[in-house]
């Protein structure tokens, strides 16, 4: 597309955009579909049509792993639509909470920080929990070959959907949620989950466990989660697998993350979707706050 623009006179490009206002969008989505087809992954993401608008007008809770949820009664969520992110499955009451969905950012985007063996251990533990709580798992499509090679997520009875995180949140006004072939990438799992909640039709989205204050404990070299590091297949080996060593390594992700939250908040407001932060304290100040216990009293 870039080469075509370079050799095409500006006047023709202008005319083409006027006659075909969605030309860039169509071309990019076609390119994404071809990439999926080439890897024999197209049929996996086509199943996502089952989730589009499934929770129309429902409220969806997105649960992170911040330490603040240790002080919140999460059993109040057991009859709600909940997306538990990443190692939320390590919560001691997970068998009672039974999240509707489990979302995992996966191995493909962490190959430089998480070892292959650690990823296998992590997914094995994750899959065991999903099966025991009869949840539905939301997975990155680019981990599919990794799953097959290690006999993970292969049980036909396991309810699973694969997402292709190929779009940037800054392009949400152009692409919106029209395609099942491309979902929105982001700085963290909460960005993914908010987009998925909107894709599924939620009109109210509630966030908890998104403390986002790990930068305050930078010098302690501690992971800020509700669980102890030795309970996690990933973080118990953090000295070997995580390579952030400079304070600036934390600043850049923070800036990108908050910029993406602002984009999603603006889009949600435009579409009449309300996003609230139920996290106890923390640094996330993009969304209006509500008190968790008062809201779910």
CB atoms within 10 A of CB 173: 11
Q: How confident is the model at residue 241 (pLDDT cuts 50, 70, 90)?
A: very low
Rounded Cα distance, 48 and 55, in Å: 13
Other CB atoms within a 10 A radius of the CB of residue 92 amount to 12
Whole-number pLDDT of residue 3:
52
201 Cβ neighbours under 8 A, 6+ residues apart = 52, 53, 54, 55, 56, 57, 58
- Report H helices in 64-188: 94-97, 116-133, 144-149, 172-175
Domains of the chain in start order, with CATH, are: 9-39 (no CATH), 44-296 (3.90.1480)
DSSP codes of every residue in 242-261: ----STHHHHHHHHHHHHHH
Q: How confident is the model at residue 237 (pLDDT cuts 50, 70, 90)?
A: low
12 band by pLDDT with thresholds 50, 70 and 90: low
pLDDT at 242: 52
- Whether 265 and 258 have beta carbons less than 8 Å apart is answered as no
pLDDT, averaged across the chain: 90
Q: Identify the CA nearest to 174 among candidates 60, 54, 23, 44.
A: 23
Helix axes 10-19, 23-38, angle to 10 degrees: 90
Contact 106, 85 (CB under 8 A): no
| Residue 145 backbone phi and psi in degrees, to 5 | -65, -35
pLDDT for the residue 240: 47
pLDDT single digits (tens) 260-289: 999 999 999 999 999 999 999 999 999 999
Q: What percent of the chain has pLDDT over 70?
A: 88
Could you give the CA distance from residue 186 to residue 90 in angstroms, rounded to a whole number? 23
- How much is the average pLDDT of 47-65? 96
Is 276 within 8 Å of 205 (Cβ atoms)?
yes
> Which pLDDT score is estimated for 8?
56
Question: pLDDT band at 108, cuts 50/70/90?
Answer: confident
Give the integer Cα–Cα distance in Å for 193 and 138.
9
Residue 254 and residue 274: Cα distance in Å, rounded?
23
What is the C-alpha to C-alpha distance for residues 73 and 93, in angstroms, rounded to an integer?
A: 10
Please give the pLDDT value at position 249.
74
Q: How many CB atoms lie within 10 A of CB 95?
A: 10
Residue-level pLDDT at 6: 55
Buried b (16+ CB within 10 A) or exposed e, 23-52: ebbeebbeebbeebeeeebbebbeebeebe
Handedness of CA 281, 286, 288, 293 (dihedral sign): negative
pLDDT at 190 over 80: yes
Q: Whole-angstrom Cα distance, residue 4 to residue 59?
A: 44
């Amino acid at each position: 597309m870039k080469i075509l623009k370079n050799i095409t006179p500006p006047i023709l490009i202008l005319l083409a955009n006027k006659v075909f206002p969605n030309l860039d969008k169509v071309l990019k989505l076609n390119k994404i579909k071809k990439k999926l087809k080439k890897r024999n992954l197209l049929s996996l993401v086509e199943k996502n049509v089952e989730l589009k608008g499934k929770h129309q007008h429902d409220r969806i809770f997105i649960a992170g792993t911040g330490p603040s949820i240790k002080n919140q009664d999460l059993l109040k969520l057991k009859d709600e639509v909940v997306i538990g992110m990443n190692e939320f499955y390590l919560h001691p009451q997970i068998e009672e909470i039974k999240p509707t969905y489990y979302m995992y950012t996966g191995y493909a985007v962490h190959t430089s920080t998480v070892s292959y063996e650690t990823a296998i251990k992590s997914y094995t533990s994750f899959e065991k929990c999903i099966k025991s709580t009869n949840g539905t798992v939301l997975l990155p499509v680019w981990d599919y070959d990794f799953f097959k090679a290690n006999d993970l997520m292969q049980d036909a009875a396991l309810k699973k959907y694969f997402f292709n995180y190929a779009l940037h949140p800054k392009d949400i006004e152009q692409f919106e949620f029209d395609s099942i072939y491309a979902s929105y990438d982001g700085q963290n799992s909460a960005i993914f989950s908010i987009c998925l909640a909107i894709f599924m039709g939620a009109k109210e989205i509630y966030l908890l466990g998104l403390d986002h204050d790990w930068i305050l404990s930078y010098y302690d070299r501690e992971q800020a989660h509700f669980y102890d590091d030795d309970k996690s297949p990933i973080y118990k080996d953090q000295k070997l697998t995580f390579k952030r060593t400079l304070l600036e390594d934390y600043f850049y992700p923070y800036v990108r993350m908050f910029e993406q939250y602002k984009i999603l908040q603006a889009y949600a407001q435009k579409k009449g979707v309300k996003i609230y932060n139920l996290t106890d304290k923390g640094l996330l100040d993009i969304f209006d706050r509500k008190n968790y216990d008062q809201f779910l009293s």
